[in-house]
Amino acid sequence: MKFVRWFLGRVILLLNFIFSPKGVKRSTQEQQKIDDKTNQLTLYQFEACPFCVKVRRAMKRQSLNIELRDAKANPQHRSELEMGGGTIKVPCLRIEKNNTVEWMYESSNIVEYLDKEFT
Ligand SMILES: N[C@@H](CCC(=O)N[C@@H](CS)C(=O)NCC(=O)O)C(=O)O
């Protein structure tokens, strides 16, 4: 079962690589403005999780440079997610705004949030 899950994960990563979406092109200044905004965001994720791939593809489409934290392989990131968000479930977007922190779960909500904020 573990092997099947690992294998499917690799297939997802391969397909994602082959059919990688094109990122939107912006002027340097425009991209800098977006980068300043995405500095407040961190995505806790697993590399081969299909829901995380979905969010990473949305980020790629919009050329969003959001820091990725691996909550599977990195125990510190895993514990940050558990303590901050309340549960180990990925993807989870950490949003820091005006000294408050929101932990957003559910890939569809995250993609909707990114679309709303950045398009
Ligand atoms: N409905 C959720 C599903 C997320 C989900 O099931 N994530 C799995 C990884 S693919 C997870 O975090 N499982 C917890 C674990 O493996 O510890 C979404 O769309 O984000």
- Model confidence at 119: pLDDT above 90: no
Quick check: bond before 50 cis, omega within 30? no
- What pLDDT, in 10s, does the model give residues 26-48? 999 999 999 999 999 999 999 99
Query: Among the atoms of ligand 1, which is closest to the Cα of residue 106?
Result: 20
Burial class (CB in 10 A: 0-12, 13-18, 19+), 22: exposed
Q: Is 107 in the pocket of ligand 1 (CB under 6 A)?
A: yes
Q: Is the pTM of this model over 0.75?
A: yes
Q: How many CB atoms lie within 10 A of CB 46?
A: 18
- 109 CB contacts (<8 Å, ≥6 apart)? none
Query: Among the atoms of ligand 1, which is closest to the Cα of residue 50?
Result: 10
- What pLDDT, in 10s, does the model give residues 44-101? 999 999 999 999 999 999 999 999 999 999 999 999 999 999 999 999 999 999 999 9
Q: Tokens 């994602």, residue?
A: 16
The preferred substitution site among 46, 53, 89 for testing ligand 1, maximizing ligand atoms within 8 Å of CB, is 89
For the four alpha carbons of 79, 83, 86 and 92, in that order, the dihedral sign comes to negative
3-state secondary structure at position 119: coil
